[in-house]
Chain A
């Protein structure tokens, strides 16, 4: 799943994008509230990180509009203001959490995980399915009690499959997920990652649905 980052400051956004990518997320970056609204309506995101001090002043209204149109993705607000009323206004408008700048990336990452956990109704950060155990915190992966080492993109793909087991994910969906909007994917990049995942885990774990996409089978025959 991707994260929608709405931050007008170029330098700050750059640092956060680098960081989020390191953490195994695919951030999409918008600089204004209007852009963010269009992005959120066009595709789905795991979470939104929103800076309240946007140049177009369209941050609180963005939250309200998204909530009114039924978008339930968690919204983490970044604000430079530590006053209570700013925090309260943000939370009452529909934000799920807030962080006051300057932000600590470790705290930011932890809060992102907490919000997604709540959204996906999980009790902890470990996903267990089809003999695979994936820890979303330290990115550790074990298959049948054996440690498996994954690259960043492999981790992102596997996480997506494990969050949506037994559902077909299209190639386009997976590409967007691991490369973002403006990532230049080679035509067979996804196939390569799937191939590697199958090699590291087991060939049967991820099934190809011809012409449609891929699917993680939770109850496959051993």
Chain B
């Protein structure tokens, strides 16, 4: 069992609690016992004093006039020595008798005292209970005055005897529970172990997971662990889809990167063996095109890498309409002429963002909209805005059966447009920039078999 474990803490906690309860219990028992004993003994002191006074008042003591009478009592023993009941009950009294000492004084004369009162402290001639320290020992005394006979009766008892007795009672109560501690904590350990077994099972299942084996965990678990299990399963599901996405990315990336490389290599080899001019032209042309494709791809990958590491963007308030006009004017003429543009732009729409990055977003989306439109198709740009956000909708027609969900994935290209220029990184860059601006972008297929691209961007600083 490790120190830093629930099992350890539970065991430690329960044991400490048990010990604490026991100690408190013992402490209370001891004090209660002490209090009760005090009362009993105090009463006894008073009763003894009264008894003696009655005895002395009724007749003359038997002793000589000058000599006080000494009453023998059993010797005081330590409470620690355990005596059997028979040993305690003596023929001529009880061994506890010795705990009470007494003196009787008439006027200034000591007329009677118990044997154990020889070392009796100087009594206080004042009625009531007193605590007197004599030779380092605390005594509780009771003074009783009978005025008719000018008689002082002093009874006294050593305080430590009371304490000893109190401790004895408290110990007797706590000892059996103390003996139960060890077996009890062993039992508690076993119960904890049993209760925590499902946790161990769950831990084992999670530990056994590998990137290839990320199946759901299905254990019969107690209610408290079921949410944990389903949380783990959700996480596993997320990891699975993330891994799948990564795998697809690697597959797409290697296809996009290796195909132009293949083109370069193949045509270079063809060029080295070509004999007629047509073959030479074909090879050089292909090498030029292949390297153009490669450099476009590298540019876009670098742009993505740069965006990936971009933490902060330089935001400022911008007017949307001029930004859109600028982006449009940067499109290749061929594309500008290809389709009919319908602009429904609200006046004075504001944007809060990095104008350079946002322009590349608009350029990219407009470029795509035109590129994937039929000749003379319609591309419409509609903007709306309120105080907080600005929305731009760019829609085209004619891009059939789009896999809308995969748009924006790196390297995704629509299968019917695989031969269109580009590597499928543009929308992925767009998505990234919009996210950097805390905006959102969505793609929905429209009724004209085209695509609506909805971009929402903040109109003002958050």
* Interface residue ranges, A against B (CB under 8 Å): 8-12, 14-16, 18-19, 22, 53, 55-57, 80-83, 86, 100-106
Contacts and interface: CB of A to CB of B under 8 A. Distances in A.
Contact of B254 (A14, A81, A103, A105): A81
15 contacts: A9-B259, A9-B419, A11-B267, A12-B266, A15-B282, A53-B259, A57-B415, A80-B257, A80-B258, A81-B254, A83-B250, A102-B258, A102-B261, A102-B264, A105-B269
Contact of B415 (A18, A56, A81): A56
Given A15-B270, A15-B283, 20 more contacts: A9-B259, A9-B263, A9-B419, A10-B419, A11-B267, A11-B289, A11-B290, A15-B282, A18-B279, A19-B270, A55-B416, A80-B256, A80-B257, A81-B254, A101-B258, A101-B262, A102-B261, A102-B262, A104-B265, A106-B269
Contact of A80 (B255, B283, B286): B255
Contacts of B413: 55
A86 B251 contact: yes
Contacts of A105: 266, 269-270
Given A80-B255, A80-B258, A8 B419 contact: yes
Contacts of B259: 9, 12, 53, 80, 101
Chain B, interface size: which category?
Answer: 20 to 34
A82 B250 CA distance: 10
B418 interface: yes
B137 interface: no
B152 to A, nearest CB: 110
Contact of B418 (A8, A83, A86, A100): A8
A56 B250 CA distance: 18
Nearest to B261: A102
B258 A18 contact: no
Nearest 4 interchain pairs by C-beta: A55-B415, A15-B266, A101-B258, A80-B255
A57 B313 CA distance: 39
A103 B419 contact: no
A15 B267 contact: yes
B273 interface: yes
Contacts of A55: 413, 415-416, 418
Contacts of A83: 250
Interface centre among A53, A55, A86, A101 (most CB of B within 10 A): A101
Contact of A81 (B250, B286, B289): B250
Given A9-B259, A10-B419, A103-B266, A15 B286 contact: yes
Contact of A11 (B255, B257, B263, B416): B263
B251 A103 contact: no
Contacts of A12: 259, 262-263, 266
Contacts of B419: 8-10
B294 to A, nearest CB: 11
A65 B277 CA distance: 42
B414 to A, nearest CB: 8
A100 B419 CA distance: 21
Interface in B411-436: 413, 415-416, 418-419
Contacts of A22: 270, 273
A14 B261 CA distance: 14
B281 to A, nearest CB: 11
